[in-house]
Amino acid sequence: MSVGLVWFKRDLRLRDHAALAQAAQCERAFGLFIIEPAWLESFECDPRHVDFLLRCLAPLQAALWQRGLPLLVRMGEAVQVLESLRRQWGVTHLFSHEETGPAWSYARDISVGRWSRLQDVQWQEWPQTGVVRRLRSRDGWAARWTRRMEAPQVAIPSGFGTPPGMQPERLPTLAELGLPTPRVQAAAGEAVAWDSLRAFLGGGGRHYRRGLSSPLTAPDACSRLSAHLAFGTLSMRSVHQATELAIEHSADRDLAYGLRGFASRLRWHCHFMQKLEDQPDIEWRNVARSLDGLRPGDGAAWGQEAQARFDAWCAGRTGYPMVDACMRQLCATGWLNFRMRAMLVSFAAYHLWLHWRAPGLFLARQFLDFEPGIHWSQMQMQSGTTGINTLRIYSPAKQARDHDPLGEYVRRWVPEYGSCAYPDPIVDEKSALAQAKEALYGQRRSSSARAEADAIQDRHGSRKSGLPATAGRRSRQKAPDAGQGVLF
């Protein structure tokens, strides 16, 4: 008898779910989610992620049960959980989506692959984004993205071979996992995700381009689909197709304009994830190795002074009100618009001269929509360690002038600004930036750095311009890799 297991990971939905559809072909089937200690113990994981996960699992479990598929939720190391289920139920097939994740998930996939071969379990995986596994070359990547996103969505299977005598399982609670309840709980689950998508495509997207830059307007102007995409309650293909359809049928010119801006960013989402897929070490090592060791925290532990700068940055007490306001909003709500995220990273990397790894782990815990591939690509790009992108150093004062001219945003998040309770700036902007630029540009001028930049461009650069990466092109190109990586 064929017994199939749908291993849910970051694909917590019924719609457009290839693994789920395939399991319906088995005589018996189960759904499975594994709460892995490697995840809970990772530096990227925060209780708000686990909370959101559990609130995605509850409606998923109910919807699957209605169709005859029990969803099992197990705590433990993946291979042990899978092996114990194989023995209990005689599992013959394992179905799942490919995942582009941190090192622990990569290592786990290798172990599961070995286990499946050893136990003769057929493990089949499907892509669910534009990310291409075992990609040979970046050439033709964009065309392949379009082909995938325009392929038909997978229909929800109507029924499964339910194992006899099953009762729906009770899901663990946050408290049982020993975790505190987050102060803010964003609405979760597939139905909520579709409501958000429809609201955005039906009119909310009208203000997208105008409103996405200011932290005052962005929470309402942006799609707010990022956490849903990160947990897979929506597939990228569903979002792409629904957006294209809405643009095509929209009689509202402003809305169509806003949605076109949104649609073009979806491609960048996968573009950045592809970098982590191709080169898993970008989560902890500089893409441009010629910059290794330049900043404190790179390779060796940093000293007290760097630690103090880092702590002030995390706490939103740098003495730069726009920076502090952004950090406080992010920590309180789990979300911040793209431009302000970039400013926070730029401030840590240039003003505070910190290596990106520790700031990146801290931000990963704050971002409810943490997506490893986008995150580490962005951390390196905004820190100037990709070697192929121009340095983008944000001026907190200019960002405040442009995007919070009346100081409303700063007053909301830093109410003590202007009183003696607010700290003086922890670094002198002018001298800090002069030193940072000198160090980075000085290194970039070296011939070894130049040779390295060509190799990186070839491996990771966007091919939007359609030109080959050559030394001649490097010297005059405008960074081709300048798209927005993250969807908000």
Partner DNA sequence: AGTGCAGTTGACTTT
Partner DNA sequence: TAAAGTCAACTGCAC
Choose between 79 and 270: whose C-beta lies nearer to DNA.
Answer: 270
Q: How far is the CB of 419 from DNA (least distance, A)?
A: 26
Widest Cα–Cα separation across the chain: 73
Q: How far is the CB of 21 from DNA (least distance, A)?
A: 36
Q: Is the dihedral of CA 223, 229, 232, 238 positive or negative?
A: positive
Choose between 100 and 382: whose C-beta lies nearer to DNA.
Answer: 382
Contact 239, 229 (CB under 8 A): yes
Any alpha helices (H) in 232-337, and if so which ranges? 236-249, 253-278, 304-315, 321-333
> What single DSSP character describes residue 180?
P
Choose between 116 and 484: whose C-beta lies nearer to DNA.
Answer: 484
Q: How far is the CB of 174 from DNA (least distance, A)?
A: 33
- Residues in contact with 280: Cβ distance below 8 Å, sequence separation at least 6, in sequence order: 103, 106
Choose between 179 and 486: whose C-beta lies nearer to DNA.
Answer: 486
Q: How far is the CB of 475 from DNA (least distance, A)?
A: 9
Q: How far is the CB of 257 from DNA (least distance, A)?
A: 14
- How would DSSP label each residue in 342-392? HHHHHIIIIIS---SHHHHHHHHHH-TT--HHHHHHHHHHHHT-SSSS---
Structure tokens at 419: 């009183």
Contact 68, 247 (CB under 8 A): no
For residue 341, the surrounding DSSP H or E stretch is helix 338-346
Structure tokens at 43: 């530096």
Choose between 49 and 351: whose C-beta lies nearer to DNA.
Answer: 351
- Residues in contact with 205: Cβ distance below 8 Å, sequence separation at least 6, in sequence order: 223, 246, 255, 258, 259, 262
Q: How far is the CB of 347 from DNA (least distance, A)?
A: 10
Q: Which residues bind DNA (CB under 7 A)?
A: 338-339, 342, 381-382, 389-395, 398-399, 437, 441, 476, 478-479, 481-485
Taking the CA atoms of residue 33, residue 36, residue 41 and residue 47 in that order, the dihedral angle to the nearest 10 degrees is 20
Q: How far is the CB of 294 from DNA (least distance, A)?
A: 16
Q: How far is the CB of 70 from DNA (least distance, A)?
A: 44
Choose between 130 and 384: whose C-beta lies nearer to DNA.
Answer: 384
For residue 66, the surrounding DSSP H or E stretch is helix 47-66
Choose between 25 and 395: whose C-beta lies nearer to DNA.
Answer: 395
Choose between 228 and 339: whose C-beta lies nearer to DNA.
Answer: 339
